[in-house]
Amino acid sequence: MTLEVAIVHQLAGFSLNVTFQAKAGITAIFGRSGSGKTTVINAIAGLLRPDAGRITLDGDILVDSTTFVPPSARNLGYVFQDARLFPHLTVHDNLNFGTRYAPVNASGPKFDDVVDLLGLEALLDRRPAKLSGGEKQRVALGRALLSKPRMLLMDEPLASLDDPRKQDILPYLERLRDGPLQLPILYVSHAVDEVARLADTLVLLRDGSVARAGPIREVMSDPAAVPLLGVREAGAVIEATIMHHAADGLTCLRIDVGELHLPGVEADVGAKVRLRVLAQDVMLSLNTPQGLSALNVLPVVVDRIQRGDGPGAAVSLRAGKDLLLARITARAVAELGLVIGMPCFAVIKATSVAPVSIGR
């Protein structure tokens, strides 16, 4: 199923002009506040009619110059930043409310399947006032799933949660992404850590326009994306396989060009995990470094170099099939003589990859 969006809309002091596609998996729309994220998702949901353009879902026109399908007829699930549960209903009844909007004879998850997927069994008899923020969002997600939507829209669903509650709910979203439902999801966020863990495709918005779009690994490792993501948040996303857990608390992971050693990763041997390696935590060396405390030294090839506005530079590195990103000074680029195609070594401290940067 493919969502195609090409819309233009004028707001007070703000012009939106975006074109992108969202296919299977999770497509994340990322941008700073005021970049147009919520306007886009509201246009897709039918809560806003754009001034011009076209939105289609699997070939069906939702909006164009002559057509505007009302929200109730689009069969889209929407999870808002605030859960919007009915306070007088139990969790069971809030979930069941979603079934009222499921199309007749539509395929989709059953009540018990959703309860199991989101770990809601122990909450069914509670009312929203007795739920934590993360629990409320899981119930809101379950209600949306039980409407058996063609696509799920999520607008900053974790923005109101503190970090511990956010870490509690992220694994459930990973299960939804990787599970049997195969439901396409459009996920709006301004949090890089969420996007890096969840998204298959990333659309970067800047001032109402699409600045970059593509597979998450390509966009996150693009030096040109660093200003959009933030210099302290930019970093590549790579996939690794758990090899073994050592007695000293370190976990050995396999990537395409070698091994990584990270503090105790909570995953079984053989499991595949997703890592975000921050660009600011990657050092470069022309020769195999000796006598370092850093455990991870990987052979890489310089793929792209981009100077920043200040003294910094971003360097994209090819590590076999993976891409890494390093943020160093322009002076270091000159002194090392870095050019595209040049082999070198990336040095990564084991402790630099935080547990919150490791997902499934």
3-220 and 235-359 share one fold: no
Closest listed residue to residue 360, CA positions, set 271, 254, 252: 271
pLDDT digits (tens, 9 = 90+) for 120-176: 999 999 999 999 999 999 999 999 999 999 999 999 999 988 888 888 899 999 999
pLDDT digits (tens, 9 = 90+) for 243-254: 999 999 999 999
Q: Predicted confidence band at 214 (pLDDT cuts at 50, 70, 90)?
A: very high
Q: What's the pLDDT score for residue 147? A: 94
- Cα 335 to the center of its chain, rounded Å: 36
Q: What's the pLDDT score for residue 105? A: 77
Q: Above pLDDT 70, what percent of the chain?
A: 100
Question: Under a CB-based contact definition with an 8 Å cutoff, are residues 357 and 274 in contact?
Answer: no
CATH number for 235-359 (one of 2.60.120.620, 2.60.40.680, 1.10.3720.10, 2.40.50.100): it is 2.40.50.100
Mean pLDDT of the chain: 93
Dist. CA 28–CA 198, nearest whole Å: 8
For β-strands 3-11 and 14-22, DSSP reports them as antiparallel
- List the chain domain ranges: 3-220, 235-359
Please check the confidence at residue 106 and state whether its pLDDT lies above 80. Answer: no
Tokens of 240: 């690794």
pTM of the model: 0.92
Q: What's the pLDDT score for residue 355? A: 82
Q: What's the pLDDT score for residue 317? A: 98
pLDDT digits (tens, 9 = 90+) for 23-59: 889 999 999 888 999 999 999 999 999 999 999 999 9
State which fold the 3-220 domain adopts: Rossmann fold (3.40.50)
Q: Predicted confidence band at 85 (pLDDT cuts at 50, 70, 90)?
A: very high
Closest listed residue to residue 349, CA positions, set 263, 233, 286: 263
Q: What's the pLDDT score for residue 11? A: 84
**Residues 352-359: what's their mean pLDDT?**
86
Q: What's the pLDDT score for residue 36? A: 92
Residue 291 backbone class (left: φ over 0; alpha: ψ -120 to 50; beta: rest): left
Closest listed residue to residue 194, CA positions, set 137, 242, 246: 137
Amino acid, single-letter form, for residue 230: G
